Amino acid sequence: MKSSENNVIYIDGANLHKGSLDLDREINYKKFAGWLRQKYNAQIIYLFIGLIPKYSKLYQNLQEYGFILIFKETIVSNNGKVKGNCDAELVLKVSSDFYENKVDNFIIVSGDGDFGCLVEFLINKNKNVLVLPPDEDKCSYLLRRTKAKITPLNHHYHKFSLDRKEKAPNKDESL
């Protein structure tokens, strides 16, 4: 992706977090933001995440690292599980950016098949799309069958994360 182009990254925060944990990795979000900017010459990095008030310090840190946070209000189910799926917010933002012609290259960090139709739409409109699934083995077939370039993060975690068996140096830098 050329440095003169407007490259924007859209991160499904829950999918990234779960995918990295499934691989026993704990992401250092400060390093991750730096790696994304350097590797993909990202102009903007959106992070779609559920809003849980007790994590306000984490959100502040993420913003300082350069992420633009897009929140989804969360609810707590009867069994105490927090729910705040941000898929619709990510699709709406990508669609809005497409229609306003704000982006040359769309980079989507997720392995969630719910985004397959969005990726197909962008490709059919002659847009460049790169999908970065957090876990190669859990990248949905609905994404893999698109004509998008797919580059799993599996072989890159060592650049911006720790093995979960090790202790993170600053708990606020991991989610």
Q: What is the pLDDT of residues 107-163, one digit of tens each?
A: 999 999 999 999 999 999 999 999 999 999 999 999 999 999 999 999 899 999 988
Question: Phi first, then psi: what are they for 13, rounded to 5°?
Answer: -60, -45
The Cα–Cα gap between 152 and 139 comes to 8
Q: C-alpha dihedral over 59, 137, 114, 74, to 10 degrees?
A: -30
- CA-to-CA dists, residue 120 to 30, 87, 131, angstroms: 31, 16, 12
pLDDT digits (tens, 9 = 90+) for 93-116: 999 999 999 999 999 999 999 999
Q: Are 68 and 36 in contact (CB under 8 A)?
A: no
β-partners of residue 121 are none
Task: Look at residue 169 in the predicted model and tell me its pLDDT.
Answer: 53
Domains in the chain, please, with CATH? Answer: 7-167 (3.40.50.1010)
pLDDT digits (tens, 9 = 90+) for 13-54: 999 999 999 999 999 999 999 999 999 999 899 999 999 999
Residue 171 has pLDDT above 80, yes or no: no
* CB contact at 8 A, 164 and 24: yes
